[in-house]
Structure 1
Amino acid sequence: MSKNNLYLALIHYPVSNKKGNTIASALTTIDMHDIARAAITFGVRGFYVVTPLMDQQVLAHEVIAHWTEGMGGVLNPFRKQALELIRVVSTFEDAVEEIKNERRAQVVTIATTAASHENAVTIKQMAHRLESDASHVIAFGTAWGMSLEFIENCDFVMEPVQGINGYNHLSVRSAVSIILDRICHDRQCLGS
Protein backbone atom coordinates (compact mmCIF):
# COMPACT_ATOMS: atom_id res chain seq x y z
CA MET A 1 0.00 0.00 0.00
CA SER A 2 1.30 3.41 -0.85
CA LYS A 3 0.83 5.18 2.50
CA ASN A 4 1.66 3.56 5.80
CA ASN A 5 -1.47 4.87 7.53
CA LEU A 6 -3.63 1.78 7.97
CA TYR A 7 -4.18 -0.05 11.26
CA LEU A 8 -6.38 -2.97 12.27
CA ALA A 9 -8.21 -3.64 15.53
CA LEU A 10 -9.64 -6.98 16.58
CA ILE A 11 -12.44 -6.17 19.01
CA HIS A 12 -13.27 -8.57 21.85
CA TYR A 13 -15.43 -6.00 23.66
CA PRO A 14 -18.04 -4.72 23.07
CA VAL A 15 -19.24 -7.58 20.89
CA SER A 16 -22.53 -9.45 20.66
CA ASN A 17 -23.41 -13.05 21.39
CA LYS A 18 -25.91 -14.95 19.26
CA LYS A 19 -28.78 -13.59 21.39
CA GLY A 20 -27.67 -10.01 20.71
CA ASN A 21 -26.38 -9.35 24.24
CA THR A 22 -23.19 -7.33 24.61
CA ILE A 23 -20.34 -9.47 25.92
CA ALA A 24 -16.56 -9.72 26.08
CA SER A 25 -15.28 -12.63 23.98
CA ALA A 26 -12.24 -14.82 24.54
CA LEU A 27 -9.14 -14.57 22.38
CA THR A 28 -8.55 -17.09 19.65
CA THR A 29 -4.80 -17.22 19.24
CA ILE A 30 -5.01 -18.39 15.63
CA ASP A 31 -6.80 -15.10 14.86
CA MET A 32 -3.80 -13.23 16.25
CA HIS A 33 -1.38 -15.24 14.12
CA ASP A 34 -3.33 -15.14 10.88
CA ILE A 35 -4.38 -11.50 11.10
CA ALA A 36 -0.82 -10.44 11.93
CA ARG A 37 0.43 -12.38 8.90
CA ALA A 38 -2.18 -10.75 6.64
CA ALA A 39 -1.38 -7.34 8.14
CA ILE A 40 2.32 -7.54 7.35
CA THR A 41 1.62 -8.98 3.90
CA PHE A 42 -0.54 -5.98 2.98
CA GLY A 43 1.56 -3.26 4.64
CA VAL A 44 -0.56 -2.53 7.70
CA ARG A 45 1.23 -0.32 10.21
CA GLY A 46 -0.12 -1.91 13.41
CA PHE A 47 -2.61 -4.50 14.62
CA TYR A 48 -4.45 -3.98 17.92
CA VAL A 49 -5.97 -6.77 19.97
CA VAL A 50 -8.64 -5.08 22.09
CA THR A 51 -9.80 -6.77 25.30
CA PRO A 52 -10.53 -5.41 28.76
CA LEU A 53 -10.08 -8.88 30.30
CA MET A 54 -6.74 -9.09 32.09
CA ASP A 55 -6.41 -12.87 31.72
CA GLN A 56 -6.90 -12.49 27.97
CA GLN A 57 -4.32 -9.70 27.82
CA VAL A 58 -1.85 -11.96 29.65
CA LEU A 59 -2.55 -14.74 27.14
CA ALA A 60 -2.03 -12.36 24.22
CA HIS A 61 1.27 -11.11 25.64
CA GLU A 62 2.45 -14.71 26.24
CA VAL A 63 1.70 -15.67 22.64
CA ILE A 64 3.42 -12.55 21.29
CA ALA A 65 6.46 -13.05 23.55
CA HIS A 66 6.87 -16.69 22.50
CA TRP A 67 7.03 -15.69 18.84
CA THR A 68 8.99 -12.45 19.20
CA GLU A 69 11.37 -13.08 22.13
CA GLY A 70 11.26 -16.84 22.67
CA MET A 71 12.12 -19.97 20.74
CA GLY A 72 9.22 -19.45 18.33
CA GLY A 73 10.90 -16.37 16.88
CA VAL A 74 14.19 -18.23 16.47
CA LEU A 75 12.53 -21.13 14.69
CA ASN A 76 10.21 -18.98 12.57
CA PRO A 77 11.53 -15.45 11.90
CA PHE A 78 8.68 -14.74 9.47
CA ARG A 79 6.12 -15.33 12.24
CA LYS A 80 8.22 -13.17 14.57
CA GLN A 81 8.12 -10.29 12.11
CA ALA A 82 4.34 -10.56 11.77
CA LEU A 83 3.60 -10.83 15.50
CA GLU A 84 5.74 -7.78 16.22
CA LEU A 85 2.87 -5.76 14.69
CA ILE A 86 0.48 -6.75 17.51
CA ARG A 87 -0.34 -4.29 20.29
CA VAL A 88 -2.63 -5.24 23.15
CA VAL A 89 -4.97 -2.60 24.62
CA SER A 90 -7.98 -2.54 26.95
CA THR A 91 -10.26 -0.40 24.80
CA PHE A 92 -10.68 0.73 21.23
CA GLU A 93 -10.31 4.30 22.50
CA ASP A 94 -6.85 3.35 23.82
CA ALA A 95 -5.91 2.10 20.34
CA VAL A 96 -7.17 5.30 18.69
CA GLU A 97 -5.21 7.41 21.18
CA GLU A 98 -2.00 5.44 20.54
CA ILE A 99 -2.44 5.82 16.78
CA LYS A 100 -3.07 9.54 17.14
CA ASN A 101 0.12 9.93 19.20
CA GLU A 102 2.18 7.76 16.83
CA ARG A 103 1.34 9.52 13.59
CA ARG A 104 0.25 12.93 14.88
CA ALA A 105 -2.69 12.82 12.47
CA GLN A 106 -6.45 12.55 12.60
CA VAL A 107 -7.68 8.98 13.15
CA VAL A 108 -10.59 7.75 11.03
CA THR A 109 -12.43 4.76 12.50
CA ILE A 110 -14.07 2.16 10.25
CA ALA A 111 -16.35 -0.61 11.50
CA THR A 112 -16.91 -3.85 9.65
CA THR A 113 -19.99 -6.01 9.88
CA ALA A 114 -21.47 -9.01 8.10
CA ALA A 115 -24.85 -7.24 8.07
CA SER A 116 -25.87 -4.71 5.46
CA HIS A 117 -25.70 -1.11 6.61
CA GLU A 118 -27.59 1.77 5.03
CA ASN A 119 -24.63 4.14 4.63
CA ALA A 120 -21.84 1.61 4.16
CA VAL A 121 -18.77 2.66 2.19
CA THR A 122 -17.44 0.39 -0.50
CA ILE A 123 -13.97 -1.11 -0.54
CA LYS A 124 -13.12 1.15 -3.48
CA GLN A 125 -14.24 4.24 -1.54
CA MET A 126 -12.17 3.13 1.45
CA ALA A 127 -9.11 2.56 -0.72
CA HIS A 128 -9.50 6.10 -2.06
CA ARG A 129 -9.88 7.52 1.49
CA LEU A 130 -6.63 5.85 2.52
CA GLU A 131 -4.78 8.17 0.15
CA SER A 132 -5.30 11.02 2.64
CA ASP A 133 -2.76 11.77 5.37
CA ALA A 134 -5.17 10.69 8.12
CA SER A 135 -4.60 7.46 10.01
CA HIS A 136 -7.30 4.82 9.47
CA VAL A 137 -8.16 1.94 11.78
CA ILE A 138 -10.47 -0.81 10.58
CA ALA A 139 -12.23 -2.60 13.43
CA PHE A 140 -13.22 -6.24 13.12
CA GLY A 141 -15.50 -7.96 15.61
CA THR A 142 -15.22 -11.34 17.25
CA ALA A 143 -18.11 -13.52 18.51
CA TRP A 144 -21.23 -12.42 16.57
CA GLY A 145 -19.77 -9.04 15.65
CA MET A 146 -19.32 -5.69 17.31
CA SER A 147 -22.18 -4.16 19.25
CA LEU A 148 -24.49 -1.85 17.31
CA GLU A 149 -23.46 1.04 19.56
CA PHE A 150 -19.78 0.45 18.73
CA ILE A 151 -20.53 0.35 15.00
CA GLU A 152 -22.59 3.54 15.15
CA ASN A 153 -19.80 5.36 16.99
CA CYS A 154 -17.31 4.73 14.18
CA ASP A 155 -16.79 7.31 11.44
CA PHE A 156 -17.64 4.81 8.69
CA VAL A 157 -19.09 1.34 8.25
CA MET A 158 -17.61 -0.77 5.48
CA GLU A 159 -19.74 -2.88 3.19
CA PRO A 160 -19.78 -6.56 4.15
CA VAL A 161 -17.85 -9.19 2.26
CA GLN A 162 -20.38 -10.87 -0.03
CA GLY A 163 -20.08 -14.36 -1.42
CA ILE A 164 -22.11 -15.84 -4.24
CA ASN A 165 -24.81 -17.87 -2.49
CA GLY A 166 -26.06 -15.78 0.43
CA TYR A 167 -24.02 -17.58 3.10
CA ASN A 168 -22.34 -14.84 5.13
CA HIS A 169 -20.55 -16.13 8.22
CA LEU A 170 -16.80 -15.95 7.56
CA SER A 171 -14.18 -16.31 10.25
CA VAL A 172 -12.81 -12.93 11.21
CA ARG A 173 -9.34 -13.86 9.96
CA SER A 174 -10.77 -14.73 6.54
CA ALA A 175 -12.72 -11.48 6.38
CA VAL A 176 -9.60 -9.47 7.28
CA SER A 177 -7.57 -11.12 4.53
CA ILE A 178 -10.26 -10.61 1.90
CA ILE A 179 -10.78 -6.95 2.82
CA LEU A 180 -7.04 -6.19 2.90
CA ASP A 181 -6.55 -7.85 -0.48
CA ARG A 182 -9.42 -5.87 -2.00
CA ILE A 183 -8.20 -2.58 -0.51
CA CYS A 184 -4.68 -3.24 -1.80
CA HIS A 185 -6.00 -4.11 -5.25
CA ASP A 186 -8.21 -1.02 -5.40
CA ARG A 187 -5.36 1.23 -4.22
CA GLN A 188 -3.19 -0.12 -7.02
CA CYS A 189 -6.01 0.51 -9.49
CA LEU A 190 -6.14 4.10 -8.27
CA GLY A 191 -2.52 4.51 -9.35
CA SER A 192 -0.78 3.99 -6.00
Structure 2
Amino acid sequence: MLNNIYLALIHYPVLGRHGNIVSSAVTNLDVHDISRTCRTYNLKGYFVVSNLPAQREIVDNVLNYWLEEFGKEYNPSRSEALTVVKRASYIEDVLEDIEEIEGQKPDLVFTSAKRGRDRLTYGAMRNIIAGSKKPHLLLFGTSWGLPEEIEKMCNYSLEPLRANSDFNHLSVRAAVAIVLDRLIREDTIDVRRD
Protein backbone atom coordinates (compact mmCIF):
# COMPACT_ATOMS: atom_id res chain seq x y z
CA MET A 1 0.00 0.00 0.00
CA LEU A 2 1.67 3.18 -1.18
CA ASN A 3 -0.90 5.29 0.68
CA ASN A 4 0.42 4.60 4.18
CA ILE A 5 3.62 6.65 4.14
CA TYR A 6 4.78 9.33 6.56
CA LEU A 7 7.84 11.56 6.35
CA ALA A 8 9.97 13.22 9.01
CA LEU A 9 12.47 16.00 8.43
CA ILE A 10 14.97 15.69 11.26
CA HIS A 11 16.72 18.75 12.72
CA TYR A 12 17.97 16.85 15.77
CA PRO A 13 19.95 14.69 15.98
CA VAL A 14 21.86 15.49 12.80
CA LEU A 15 25.52 15.66 11.91
CA GLY A 16 27.41 18.94 11.95
CA ARG A 17 30.22 19.89 9.60
CA HIS A 18 32.78 17.98 11.69
CA GLY A 19 30.67 14.88 12.29
CA ASN A 20 29.42 15.94 15.72
CA ILE A 21 25.76 15.78 16.74
CA VAL A 22 24.00 19.15 16.39
CA SER A 23 20.58 20.74 16.09
CA SER A 24 19.97 22.47 12.76
CA ALA A 25 17.73 25.42 11.99
CA VAL A 26 14.22 25.04 10.59
CA THR A 27 13.68 26.89 7.32
CA ASN A 28 10.40 28.31 6.16
CA LEU A 29 11.03 26.87 2.67
CA ASP A 30 11.40 23.32 3.98
CA VAL A 31 8.08 23.56 5.79
CA HIS A 32 6.27 24.95 2.75
CA ASP A 33 7.87 23.06 -0.12
CA ILE A 34 8.08 19.64 1.49
CA SER A 35 4.44 19.90 2.62
CA ARG A 36 3.43 20.60 -0.99
CA THR A 37 5.33 17.53 -2.18
CA CYS A 38 3.88 15.38 0.61
CA ARG A 39 0.34 16.52 -0.17
CA THR A 40 0.87 15.93 -3.91
CA TYR A 41 1.95 12.34 -3.22
CA ASN A 42 -0.78 11.83 -0.60
CA LEU A 43 1.48 11.17 2.36
CA LYS A 44 -0.39 10.73 5.62
CA GLY A 45 1.80 13.15 7.52
CA TYR A 46 4.92 15.28 7.41
CA PHE A 47 6.70 15.81 10.74
CA VAL A 48 9.20 18.61 11.30
CA VAL A 49 11.37 17.41 14.19
CA SER A 50 13.38 19.84 16.33
CA ASN A 51 14.41 19.66 19.96
CA LEU A 52 14.66 23.47 20.18
CA PRO A 53 11.51 25.34 21.33
CA ALA A 54 12.38 28.44 19.26
CA GLN A 55 12.64 26.30 16.12
CA ARG A 56 9.30 24.58 16.81
CA GLU A 57 7.81 28.05 17.26
CA ILE A 58 8.87 28.91 13.70
CA VAL A 59 6.86 25.92 12.46
CA ASP A 60 3.89 26.97 14.60
CA ASN A 61 4.02 30.51 13.19
CA VAL A 62 4.06 29.25 9.60
CA LEU A 63 1.16 26.88 10.27
CA ASN A 64 -0.89 29.47 12.14
CA TYR A 65 -0.53 32.01 9.37
CA TRP A 66 -1.46 29.63 6.55
CA LEU A 67 -4.04 27.50 8.35
CA GLU A 68 -5.75 29.99 10.68
CA GLU A 69 -4.97 33.52 9.54
CA PHE A 70 -4.80 35.54 6.30
CA GLY A 71 -2.88 32.88 4.40
CA LYS A 72 -5.84 30.49 4.49
CA GLU A 73 -7.93 32.85 2.38
CA TYR A 74 -5.04 34.23 0.35
CA ASN A 75 -3.79 30.89 -0.96
CA PRO A 76 -6.11 27.93 -0.24
CA SER A 77 -3.80 25.48 -2.07
CA ARG A 78 -0.89 26.39 0.19
CA SER A 79 -3.18 26.09 3.17
CA GLU A 80 -4.30 22.62 2.09
CA ALA A 81 -0.72 21.46 1.58
CA LEU A 82 0.22 22.55 5.10
CA THR A 83 -2.55 20.44 6.65
CA VAL A 84 -0.18 17.44 6.49
CA VAL A 85 2.46 19.16 8.68
CA LYS A 86 2.97 18.29 12.33
CA ARG A 87 5.82 19.29 14.54
CA ALA A 88 7.61 17.12 17.04
CA SER A 89 10.45 17.49 19.50
CA TYR A 90 12.05 14.08 18.95
CA ILE A 91 11.81 11.08 16.64
CA GLU A 92 10.27 9.11 19.51
CA ASP A 93 7.36 11.59 19.55
CA VAL A 94 6.78 10.96 15.86
CA LEU A 95 6.73 7.20 16.42
CA GLU A 96 4.19 7.61 19.25
CA ASP A 97 1.95 9.82 17.10
CA ILE A 98 1.99 7.37 14.20
CA GLU A 99 1.36 4.42 16.51
CA GLU A 100 -1.62 6.25 17.99
CA ILE A 101 -3.03 6.90 14.49
CA GLU A 102 -2.23 3.50 12.98
CA GLY A 103 -2.40 1.17 15.96
CA GLN A 104 1.16 0.01 15.23
CA LYS A 105 4.63 1.46 14.96
CA PRO A 106 5.89 2.30 11.48
CA ASP A 107 8.81 0.68 9.75
CA LEU A 108 11.59 3.26 9.54
CA VAL A 109 13.32 4.06 6.24
CA PHE A 110 16.69 5.80 6.39
CA THR A 111 17.78 8.17 3.63
CA SER A 112 21.22 9.62 3.01
CA ALA A 113 23.30 11.26 0.29
CA LYS A 114 26.16 8.99 1.39
CA ARG A 115 26.78 5.44 0.31
CA GLY A 116 26.41 2.67 2.84
CA ARG A 117 26.00 -1.06 3.25
CA ASP A 118 22.78 -2.92 2.51
CA ARG A 119 21.07 0.00 0.80
CA LEU A 120 17.88 -0.85 -1.07
CA THR A 121 17.02 0.33 -4.55
CA TYR A 122 13.92 2.44 -4.96
CA GLY A 123 12.19 -0.39 -6.82
CA ALA A 124 12.89 -2.84 -3.99
CA MET A 125 11.68 -0.36 -1.35
CA ARG A 126 8.58 0.41 -3.40
CA ASN A 127 7.73 -3.30 -3.52
CA ILE A 128 8.24 -3.65 0.24
CA ILE A 129 5.94 -0.71 0.98
CA ALA A 130 3.34 -1.80 -1.58
CA GLY A 131 3.25 -5.32 -0.15
CA SER A 132 2.94 -4.26 3.48
CA LYS A 133 0.00 -3.22 5.62
CA LYS A 134 2.36 -1.44 8.04
CA PRO A 135 2.92 2.30 7.91
CA HIS A 136 6.34 3.45 6.76
CA LEU A 137 8.20 6.53 7.98
CA LEU A 138 10.82 8.05 5.67
CA LEU A 139 13.55 9.88 7.61
CA PHE A 140 15.37 12.79 5.98
CA GLY A 141 18.21 14.65 7.65
CA THR A 142 19.21 18.28 7.51
CA SER A 143 22.68 19.79 7.97
CA TRP A 144 25.22 17.07 7.06
CA GLY A 145 22.72 14.24 7.37
CA LEU A 146 21.49 11.69 9.85
CA PRO A 147 23.91 10.00 12.27
CA GLU A 148 24.68 6.30 12.28
CA GLU A 149 22.62 5.82 15.45
CA ILE A 150 19.50 6.75 13.50
CA GLU A 151 20.32 4.32 10.71
CA LYS A 152 20.68 1.53 13.29
CA MET A 153 17.11 2.25 14.45
CA CYS A 154 15.78 1.82 10.92
CA ASN A 155 14.30 -1.24 9.27
CA TYR A 156 15.53 -0.21 5.82
CA SER A 157 18.08 2.10 4.22
CA LEU A 158 17.63 3.57 0.76
CA GLU A 159 20.41 3.99 -1.75
CA PRO A 160 21.51 7.60 -2.21
CA LEU A 161 20.35 9.71 -5.12
CA ARG A 162 23.13 10.24 -7.68
CA ALA A 163 25.54 8.04 -5.70
CA ASN A 164 28.00 7.83 -8.59
CA SER A 165 28.04 11.54 -9.34
CA ASP A 166 31.13 13.64 -8.64
CA PHE A 167 28.78 16.20 -7.02
CA ASN A 168 25.94 15.05 -4.79
CA HIS A 169 24.56 17.92 -2.74
CA LEU A 170 20.84 18.29 -3.41
CA SER A 171 18.69 20.43 -1.16
CA VAL A 172 16.55 18.31 1.14
CA ARG A 173 13.47 19.73 -0.63
CA ALA A 174 14.68 18.41 -3.97
CA ALA A 175 15.75 15.08 -2.46
CA VAL A 176 12.32 14.55 -0.87
CA ALA A 177 10.57 15.21 -4.19
CA ILE A 178 12.82 12.84 -6.13
CA VAL A 179 12.64 10.06 -3.53
CA LEU A 180 8.85 10.26 -3.32
CA ASP A 181 8.54 10.24 -7.08
CA ARG A 182 10.77 7.17 -7.34
CA LEU A 183 8.84 5.35 -4.62
CA ILE A 184 5.28 6.35 -5.53
CA ARG A 185 5.75 6.81 -9.25
CA GLU A 186 2.67 6.76 -11.35
CA ASP A 187 2.58 5.35 -14.82
CA THR A 188 1.01 7.90 -17.10
CA ILE A 189 -0.84 7.36 -20.33
CA ASP A 190 -0.30 9.78 -23.14
CA VAL A 191 -3.79 10.82 -24.11
CA ARG A 192 -3.91 12.92 -27.25
CA ARG A 193 -6.96 14.91 -28.12
CA ASP A 194 -8.08 14.97 -31.69
Provide the TM-score with structure 1 as the length reference: 0.93
8 Å contact from structure 2 (residues 111, 140) kept in 1: yes
Tell me the equivalent position of 2:142: 142
8 Å contact from structure 1 (residues 110, 136) kept in 2: yes
Tell me the equivalent position of 2:167: 167
Residues 5-54 of structure 1: per-residue CA shift (max 9 Å, x gap): 10000000000111111000110110111100000111111000001100
Give me the whole-angstrom Cα distance separating, in 2, the residues matched to 1:56 and 1:22: 17
Give the drift of 1:164: 6.8
8 Å contact from structure 2 (residues 96, 105) kept in 1: no
8 Å contact from structure 1 (residues 105, 133) kept in 2: no
Partner secondary structure for residue 184 of structure 2:
helix
Q: Indicate yes or no: 2:109 matched with 1:107.
A: no
The alignment yields a C-alpha RMSD, in angstroms, of 1.6
State the percentage of identical aligned residues: 36
Give me the whole-angstrom Cα distance separating, in 2, the residues matched to 1:10 and 1:106: 18
8 Å contact from structure 2 (residues 95, 105) kept in 1: no
Tell me the equivalent position of 1:179: 179
Tell me the equivalent position of 2:91: 92
Residues 150-178 of structure 1: per-residue CA shift (max 9 Å, x gap): 12221111110117742111100000000
Task: Output the amino acid matched with 1:22.
Answer: I
Give me the whole-angstrom Cα distance separating, in 2, the residues matched to 1:17 and 1:81: 33
Give me the whole-angstrom Cα distance separating, in 2, the residues matched to 1:129 and 1:65: 36
Give me the whole-angstrom Cα distance separating, in 2, the residues matched to 1:10 and 1:178: 15
Give the drift of 1:98: 0.7
Residues 107-152 of structure 1: per-residue CA shift (max 9 Å, x gap): 1001100111111111111111112110000000000101121122
Partner secondary structure for residue 130 of structure 1:
helix
Give me the whole-angstrom Cα distance separating, in 2, the residues matched to 1:163 and 1:127: 19
Give the drift of 1:55: 0.6
Tell me the equivalent position of 1:21: 20
Aligned residues: 187
Q: What pairs with 1:27-46 in structure 2 (closer than 5 Å)?
A: 27-46=26-45
Runs of 5+ consecutive residues of structure 2 not aligned to the other structure: 189-194
Give the drift of 1:103: 1.1
Partner secondary structure for residue 102 of structure 1:
helix
Tell me the equivalent position of 1:76: 75
Larger Rg over CA atoms: 2
Runs of 5+ consecutive residues of structure 1 not aligned to the other structure: none
Provide the TM-score with structure 2 as the length reference: 0.92
Give me the whole-angstrom Cα distance separating, in 2, the residues matched to 1:73 and 1:167: 39
